[in-house]
Amino acid sequence: MNNRAYTLIELIVVLALVSAMLLIALPSLQDTLSAYPVWTEARKLAERIEESRNKASREQMDYTLHVDLEKGLLWTCRRSEPAESQDRSGNSVWTLPKGVRITGIRCGSGEIRKTGESQILFSGQGYAQSAVIYLHRDDLSVSLTVLPFMKAVQIQEESIEDPQESSATDEE
């Protein structure tokens, strides 16, 4: 008779190995799960920016993406419309989820704006005002870069850094 079966010791060794691998992989998995919302929101924001740019080009009208830095609100309207019309004009207002916040925006080659409202212009001719939007959640920062003649928005892991602040720390 040929009895081929696993012994209890073999099963315990396999379970111990699987448990050890899970213990090693768990911290990495937690980092990935905690970073997921900021990357998801970055992708959604990139889609919103690309959609606004395409709409401006398709309709041959200038559009503006308004970003309220304190409230985490974003909305698009025609450049000719007043900014306050976001509630009445039928333009959808997009709110960042809890925990994800905009830490700053750099429009053009200007300084990083960390409070108030910023605007990014999308021309009817298909180009956009250059801008960098910084999103943050927990210990992870992501930047979205809008370039004038590139349709796609670049997303990368990058923290907000003001050139004046970094040069001041270099001098010390």
Q: pLDDT tens-digit profile of 110-135?
A: 788 888 888 889 998 888 899 999 98
pLDDT tens column, 14-34: 999 999 998 888 777 666 655
CB of 61 closer than 8 Å to CB of 78:
yes
Task: Please give the torsion angle defined by the CA atoms of residues 51, 54, 58 and 63, in that order, rounded to the nearest 10 degrees.
Answer: 80
DSSP letter at 86?
Answer: G
Q: What are phi and psi of 58, to 5 degrees?
A: -65, -40
Cβ atoms within 10 Å of 21's Cβ, excluding its own: 10
Helices (H) and strands (E) in the chain, counts: 2, 9
Q: For domain 38-158, give the CATH number.
A: 3.55.40.10
pLDDT per residue as tens digits for the range 31-82? 665 556 788 888 888 888 898 888 889 999 999 888 898 888 888 888 776 6
Amino acid letter at 52? S
User: What is the distance between the alpha carbons of residues 95 and 41, in angstroms, rounded to a whole number?
Assistant: 10
* pTM score, whole prediction: 0.67
The CA–CA distances, whole Å, from 101 to 98, 131, 172 equal 8, 17, 31
Nearest alpha-carbon partner for 127 in 68, 72, 52 = 52
- Residue range 132-159, pLDDT digits in tens: 999 888 778 888 899 888 888 988 887 7
